[in-house]
Amino acid sequence: YLPRIAQRTDIQGELPGLINMKNVQRFRRVGHEIVPDTGRIPNPCGEIILPDKGPCCLATVYPTRCANEAEWKRNCRHATFYAKIVTTIPHPWSCTNLVVQRERRIGVSQTGLTILYDRDPIKFRTDISQRYKDIRQCDDEISDQWGIPRSIRVTTIKPEGTLSLLAGTPAGMHFPIASSYLRRVRYARDHPDLKLFEAAGLPIDIDPRTDNTKVVTFPCNYSHKVRTTKQVNFFEQLTLAKTLQEAY
């Protein structure tokens, strides 16, 4: 199958989603902690494996928005604390409550990682591995204090498309397709925010196909230096994915 997948990627320009269920069900971090997982299927975005009737419980940290490593560590602990609290909120379905109470599955994600990777690939691996240990330690402490099971999983890397836009960082572990670009967003013609965009001098056009919709053009630029997909080959992108699977 791999040659066929590679051929399709060469033609279509996009790799289909791939997941090794044997590794996922065996390891927390590939090659390190062997902990059997009852998860059977990934969630729709493919960022975390779930058991039957199990829900997602995810949180995000923005390391490039942290002033230093201490703040990065503190934010990871806050995200872990938040996600763990969510596992104590009852669901409407008793079958889901049983799964949550048994596994306390959470996923603390990091976004904008390619910026850190480009700065120093070796230090990146050390730092991201330490963040995993910080999150695991925090979960252990909270679980012991509250008298609930330790989480079967605590970390993940989400695609983070929308949330990363708010922080001005590349999404998840992805290299951006361009360092500067134009993003166009559709708004209802009577949307109150259009007055703000007009005052700011942003280009606003009427949607040629829908008279009651306007299109606002936003110029975007990453504040941090990072390579684009045209500058990073396929092998290096897979190497980054492998690093995260092993270290985080």
Give the pLDDT confidence score for residue 15 in this predicted structure.
64
**Weakest mean pLDDT among 33-37, 39-43, 133-137:** 33-37
Flag whether pLDDT at 16 surpasses 70.
no
Packing angle of the helix pair 121-146, 69-86 (nearest 10 deg): 40
pTM to 2 decimals? 0.85
Strands of the chain, DSSP E: 41-42, 49-50, 58-61, 107-110, 180-188, 204-206, 213-221
Give the pLDDT confidence score for residue 14 in this predicted structure.
67
pLDDT (tens digit per residue) in 44-84: 888 899 999 999 999 999 999 999 999 999 999 999 999 99
Give the pLDDT confidence score for residue 130 in this predicted structure.
97
Terminal C-alpha separation, the chain: 28
**Weakest mean pLDDT among 16-20, 65-69, 98-102, 222-226:** 16-20
CB 224 within 8 A of CB 115: yes
CB 108 within 8 A of CB 156: yes
Flag whether pLDDT at 172 surpasses 70.
yes
Mean pLDDT of the chain: 91
pLDDT (tens digit per residue) in 106-134: 999 999 999 999 999 999 999 999 999 99
Higher pLDDT, 145 or 7: 145
